[in-house]
Amino acid sequence: MKNYPYLLWIKPLDLKTPVIRSDWFNQLSSSKALMADPTPENYKAFFKELVEKAPGGGKPKNAITAAGDIAELDYIFNMAFGLNQTWLKKSDGTFEYAKVSEKEKAKLEFYSELYKEGLLDQQFATKQWDTKEKAFYDGDSGVIVGTNGKVIDIYNGKMTQVNGKEAELTVLPPAKGEFQGYGATDISKESRGIAISSQSKNKELAFKVLDYLASPKGQMLDRIGFENEHYKITDNQIELTEKYYSEWYARFWEPADFKPEKTLKTPLLSKPAEESAKLVQQYYSEDNKVILDEASSAKWDAAENLYKEFSADIITGKRPISDFDKFAEEWKKAGGDEITKFVNGKLK
């Protein structure tokens, strides 16, 4: 609030968790080993059996897909490879950017193996969120990653609508290695929020909308949708419909603890969604990301775009993993050195 006092946003942790259909999960002999000891090696064995056994009658075509880049894969594997924060502390006490570290190199080599063996969707780099989800519901991809809580709830609702109750989702654990978790939470600032423009001619009306949405009636609308469509009142209790579970989400506020005037007959979240939220809380850890100054921010985008291009080329085999040192030097020249110097000053 000190850094961004104009932002208003109520939401739980937004880390993402991997999920798979339970009926497929239960058919695989490698499932127990994965849940007991989710190392990257056991994840790979699980992915391999999923594709080879094809529990969906010739499907899935690949074990896991992602929307456009490897960020969603990182929620599973980053911490196992020692990438537990944005800036990693070296033996001399200084900090280096995680994405140019030797640990990142090992992770990218692992991803390239998944791609080469057909376990990672060959079109992951061109997938959008909607085509990623379609591949999951159609059975072309066995595992996808989604934001814990309500997004997993929507995935679960749509999956069971299409494939029956036995297809209810199973939430998979984060990979286990040097660390374990779905990633570190950025506590430097909140990246999303609601702001009212100083130039608006309707500031008072805009505040009235926010005030209404924070009221009991507004919360009913924002949190659970429209009566007789997303919920029904039965015996003076709120009964959520299948349509609520498969499509509705809060547009403004998303309080974790919602207490309407009438009693909830059905839970706000399905069991897989509740499990995903519980696991994210269980594995919570804080990031050491730093708010950059104006000069560093201007160079950050160019340096990040260089990483995205290089990592995609490594995974898809366009460049060998031995080029990692060249990439690290290119990143430093593209502004990485100045950013690293600034961040070290802050972290020290």
**pLDDT of 6 over the 60 cut:** no
Question: Per-residue pLDDT tens for 238-256?
Answer: 999 999 999 999 988 876 7
Nearest CA to 267 among 237, 227, 226, 247? 237
pTM of the model as a whole: 0.93
Pick among 3.40.220.10, 3.40.190.10, 3.30.70.330, 3.40.30.10: CATH of 8-195+245-289: 3.40.190.10
The confidence score (pLDDT) of residue 179 equals 98
Q: What does DSSP say about strands 62-64 and 141-147: parallel, antiparallel, or unpaired?
A: parallel
**pLDDT of 135 over the 90 cut:** yes
The confidence score (pLDDT) of residue 251 equals 87
Q: Binning pLDDT at 50, 70 and 90, where does residue 307 land?
A: very high
Q: How far apart are CA 271 and CA 282, in angstroms?
A: 16
Question: Per-residue pLDDT tens for 98-121?
Answer: 999 999 999 999 999 999 999 999
Contact 25, 170 (CB under 8 A): yes
The confidence score (pLDDT) of residue 143 equals 98
Q: What does DSSP say about strands 87-89 and 169-171: parallel, antiparallel, or unpaired?
A: unpaired
Question: Per-residue pLDDT tens for 219-230?
Answer: 999 999 999 999
Contact 300, 291 (CB under 8 A): no
Average pLDDT, the chain: 93
CA distances from 295 to 92, 169, 298, 342 (A): 26, 45, 5, 10
